Every structure is written in structure tokens, then in C-alpha cells.
């Protein structure tokens, strides 16, 4: 690549934003924005390369009358330098006075605390939504304050929330919102299935399909393959755009040595019948141009069932795995990972510099994995 690249990244919240922060750090060094010409780069990016982040909106919810978008906000705060580095999420210098008031009224979820500063974001967003603006426009207005250095797009402007099916006491099943399952129950209730509510009516947000079609490189951040990347790909039209783009498509494994690096993604993978391993997740995404491995979900029929809805051809040209998974990836080259070029290197995001080096290797793998 001679000109500064255009990169589209599919991403969830914390894992996604850590990765993109490293990506931007590396791009600043390699393709710095020309001095004195701010128009060369996005505000806050410092690079002539352009990055569009397509964020998961499956975690979004209405709470206390407000639209809360956890993954969009994690990315905006982390890239805009407003996040709490120690906690790893939310706003720096946060307090929780308003949440205590809401709890006293019995409004909202007592186990899902919204910080006071964070509530300002949700109020602003909800106010714009109430005025009739789409989520993508509300997101652009929020980002105008934080300058995340990327074009941050919700996967969809429509509400397609992730619901989790679990067993109930009466021997049947019930559904709860993903955030209730994840935060209140710490993903400990065995999930029988994940459903994207109303996804059949959802459309990709403006700019999403264009960003994938026009990118020089498409990356899957090392985000949760089911409830972050899977939900983005579940919006009708997005997986096909990935299959059809002229750009190479490279994923970064969120699984290292058979374990999730941080978090509880294994609970999601087992629910859709995918082993918690770098090879199995790569095979789940599948090789572009080849029929996918056809890994099915929990076997329940129904629209929007995650895990069961990656039919047809696969999505990846390249798959970046950790060094500990090098041998497994190599031996899977003629089997589950056939058609996918793999590269192994350490994948822990210890520092922003190390993350930048991981992102640089993802771009190098992309350059060698042209479809």
C-alpha cells in the first residue's frame, strides 16, 4: 500500500476499543497526518489513514427511559481519552449519585449502575433520538465532542437487541436481555441460544456497507465472536458486504491457548456449539469463497438465531492467532482453516505499543491475503 489505507473494523466494546487504540497508535507513526493540515486526518486521529469502526449495537437497551449503547460508548470514551483506565470501562472521575436516586425510586436495574457523567451521554443521545434523529447521527454528535479519531458507526440504527434463552424453573425456557444475563448473572446461567430481536427488520446504518465495500482492509477486532462480531454480521446485508468486498478480510483471534483472554466469551461460544479455541473460532467465521464449515448453533430454528446464521461462504482471508496456537493453526491448514492464511504472534494487549505491533501484523497479513 503506498497511499494511507482506509480500514474498516468490526468491533465490540472493550476488546474492540483496545485493539483500535493500538491500530491508531501504529497508523500515526506510519502515516502521520501532514503537519499543519488538520484536514489530512480526522480530528483526534493524527493519521492520514482513515479508520471506520462498525460497532455492535446488540447490547443496547432502554433503561430508566434512556437509550444506553455500551459498546459504542466504550469505543468513543476509550479513543477519546475519557475512559477509566483502571476499571477498563466507563468515564474517568465518575460518580454515582444519580444512580443511587434512581435505585431509591425503584427505577432501572440496581445491578447495572450508570455513572453520573455517563448518564449525561445517555440523556444527550436519548434527547436526539426523541427529536427523531437516527442513532448514527446521535453517535456522530457525541463523537464531535470526544474526537475518537475514527468514524464511529453503529452497525444499525434499528433496535435489534440480543436476547438470551435460558431454562426457567418450570422446565421451560425464558428470554432475558443480554446485559441482564451478562452483568447480573455473570454469564453463569447456561445459555441455550442467542437471538437478535427484530433483526429481520434491521438495516445497516448509513455508511456501513460503503465502508466495507470501499475499504483497503477489513478487520474483525478480537471481540466476542458471538455477541459482538456475530451480532454485527447478523444485520442483514453486512455479512454479504464482507463476502463481496475487494479488500482482504483479516480477523484477530480473541482466544489464546484455548481460553478467553479477558471476560466470559466461552459461555457464548459453547451456547452456539463452537469450541473455545482459535482454530474453532476461525473456522466458525470460515474462509471467503469457500462454503463455511457450517457450524450450527444450538439447533433451535428461528430468525436472528446467532451462530446458526453464518450460512453460505465464509468471511475471512486471514486469521491472526497467538504464538501458543501456531501449531494448532498449522495443522488445521488443510482442514477447518482451509482457505484461510494464518499468522501466529503474541496477541496479548499489554501496552498500546504492543497492540500497535499486533495491528501492524494484521495489516501485513492482509497485504498477503488479497482475495
Question: Residues interacting with ligand GDP, by CB under 6 A?
Answer: 11-16, 71, 74, 222-224, 228, 252-254, 256, 260-263, 265, 347-349
| Residue 348's binding partner out of ligand GDP, Ca ion, none, with CB under 5 to 8 Å set by partner kind | ligand GDP
Determine contact, residues 312/262, Cβ cutoff 8 Å. Answer: no
Task: Find the part of the chain contacting Ca ion (CB under 5 A) among 68-76, 187-195, 241-249, 288-296.
Answer: 68-76
User: With respect to Ca ion, which residue has the nearer C-beta, 47 or 139?
Assistant: 139
Of 5, 6, 13, 41, the one binding Ca ion by CB under 5 A: 13
User: With respect to ligand GDP, which residue has the nearer C-beta, 111 or 348?
Assistant: 348
Task: Find the part of the chain contacting Ca ion (CB under 5 A) among 53-61, 104-112, 152-160, 239-247.
Answer: 53-61
Q: What separation, in Å, do the N-terminal and C-terminal C-alpha atoms of the chain show? A: 15
CB of 221: closest distance to Ca ion in angstroms? 11
User: With respect to Ca ion, which residue has the nearer C-beta, 264 or 290?
Assistant: 264
Distances from the Cα of 188 to the Cα of 141, 166, 181, 334, angstroms: 37, 10, 8, 36
Measured from each CB, the residue nearest to ligand GDP is 15
CB of 229: closest distance to ligand GDP in angstroms? 7
Task: Identify the CA nearest to 286 among candidates 236, 331, 205, 220.
Answer: 220
Of 60, 71, 161, 322, the one binding Ca ion by CB under 5 A: 71
**Residue 12 in contact with Ca ion, rule: CB under 5 A:** yes
Task: Report the alpha-carbon distance of residue 47 to residue 31 in Å, rounded.
Answer: 6
Other C-beta atoms lying within 10 Å of the C-beta of residue 247 = 22
Strand partners, 341: 318
Q: What is the dihedral of CA 18, 23, 24, 25, to 10 degrees?
A: 90
| Residue 309's binding partner out of ligand GDP, Ca ion, none, with CB under 5 to 8 Å set by partner kind | none
| Residue 15's binding partner out of ligand GDP, Ca ion, none, with CB under 5 to 8 Å set by partner kind | ligand GDP
Q: Which residues contact 262 (CB under 8 A, 6 or more apart)?
A: 14, 15
Instruction: Extract the C-alpha cell encoding 237.
Output: 446485508
| Residue 277's binding partner out of ligand GDP, Ca ion, none, with CB under 5 to 8 Å set by partner kind | none
User: With respect to ligand GDP, which residue has the nearer C-beta, 181 or 349?
Assistant: 349
Task: Identify the CA nearest to 183 among candidates 116, 113, 255.
Answer: 113
Determine contact, residues 183/287, Cβ cutoff 8 Å. Answer: no
DSSP codes of every residue in 250-271: EEE-SEETTEESSS-HHHHHHH
| Residue 111's binding partner out of Ca ion, ligand GDP, none, with CB under 5 to 8 Å set by partner kind | none
**Residue 60 in contact with Ca ion, rule: CB under 5 A:** no
Task: Find the part of the chain contacting Ca ion (CB under 5 A) among 13-21, 33-41, 83-91, 265-273.
Answer: 13-21
| Residue 79's binding partner out of Ca ion, ligand GDP, none, with CB under 5 to 8 Å set by partner kind | none
Across 166-182, b (16+ Cβ under 10 Å) vs e yields beeeeeeeebbbbbbbb
CB of 12: closest distance to ligand GDP in angstroms? 3
User: With respect to ligand GDP, which residue has the nearer C-beta, 217 or 313?
Assistant: 217
Q: What residues line the site for Ca ion (CB under 5 A)?
A: 12-13, 59, 71
Amino acid at each position: 500500500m503506498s497511499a494511507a489505507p482506509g480500514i474498516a473494523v468490526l468491533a465490540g466494546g472493550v476488546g474492540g476499543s483496545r485493539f483500535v487504540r493500538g491500530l491508531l497508535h501504529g497508523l500515526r507513526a506510519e502515516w502521520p497526518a501532514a503537519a499543519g493540515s488538520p484536514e489530512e486526518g480526522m480530528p483526534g486521529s493524527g493519521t492520514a489513514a482513515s479508520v471506520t469502526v462498525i460497532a455492535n449495537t446488540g447490547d443496547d437497551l432502554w433503561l430508566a427511559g434512556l437509550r444506553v449503547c455500551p459498546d459504542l460508548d466504550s469505543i468513543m470514551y476509550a479513543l477519546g481519552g475519557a475512559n477509566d483506565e483502571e476499571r477498563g470501562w466507563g468515564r474517568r472521575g465518575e460518580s454515582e449519585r444519580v444512580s443511587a436516586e434512581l435505585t431509591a425510586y425503584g427505577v432501572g436495574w440496581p445491578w447495572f449502575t450508570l455513572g453520573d457523567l455517563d448518564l449525561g451521554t445517555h440523556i444527550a443521545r436519548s434527547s436526539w433520538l426523541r427529536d427523531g434523529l437516527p442513532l448514527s447521527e446521535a453517535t456522530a454528535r457525541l463523537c464531535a465532542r470526544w474526537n475518537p479519531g475514527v468514524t464511529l458507526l453503529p452497525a444499525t440504527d434499528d433496535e435489534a437487541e440480543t436476547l438470551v434463552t435460558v431454562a426457567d424453573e418450570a422446565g421451560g425456557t425464558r428470554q432475558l436481555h443480554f446485559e441482564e444475563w451478562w452483568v447480573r448473572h455473570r454469564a453463569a446461567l447456561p445459555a441455550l441460544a442467542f437471538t437478535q430481536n427484530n433483526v429481520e427488520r434491521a438495516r445497516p446504518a448509513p455508511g456501513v456497507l460503503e465502508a466495507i465495500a470501499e475499504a483497503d482492509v477489513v478487520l474483525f477486532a478480537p471481540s466476542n465472536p458471538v455477541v459482538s462480531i456475530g451480532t454485527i454480521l447478523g444485520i442483514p446485508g453486512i455479512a454479504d458486504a464482507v463476502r463481496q468486498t475487494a479488500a482482504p478480510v483479516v480477523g484477530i483471534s480473541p482466544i489464546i491457548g484455548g481460553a478467553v483472554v479477558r471476560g466470559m466469551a466461552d459461555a457464548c461460544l459453547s451456547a452456539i456449539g463452537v469450541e473455545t479455541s482459535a482454530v474453532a473460532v476461525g473456522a466458525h467465521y470460515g474462509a471467503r469463497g469457500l462454503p463455511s464449515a457450517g457450524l450450527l448453533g444450538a439447533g433451535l430454528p428461528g430468525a436472528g438465531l446467532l451462530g446458526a446464521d453464518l450460512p453460505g461462504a465464509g468471511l475471512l482471508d486471514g486469521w491472526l492467532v497467538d504464538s501458543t496456537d501456531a501449531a494448532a493453526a498449522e495443522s488445521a491448514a488443510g482442514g477447518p482453516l482451509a482457505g484461510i492464511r494464518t499468522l501466529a504472534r503474541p496477541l496479548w494487549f499489554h501496552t498500546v505499543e504492543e497492540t500497535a505491533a499486533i495491528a501492524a501484523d494484521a495489516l501485513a497479513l492482509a497485504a498477503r491475503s488479497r482475495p
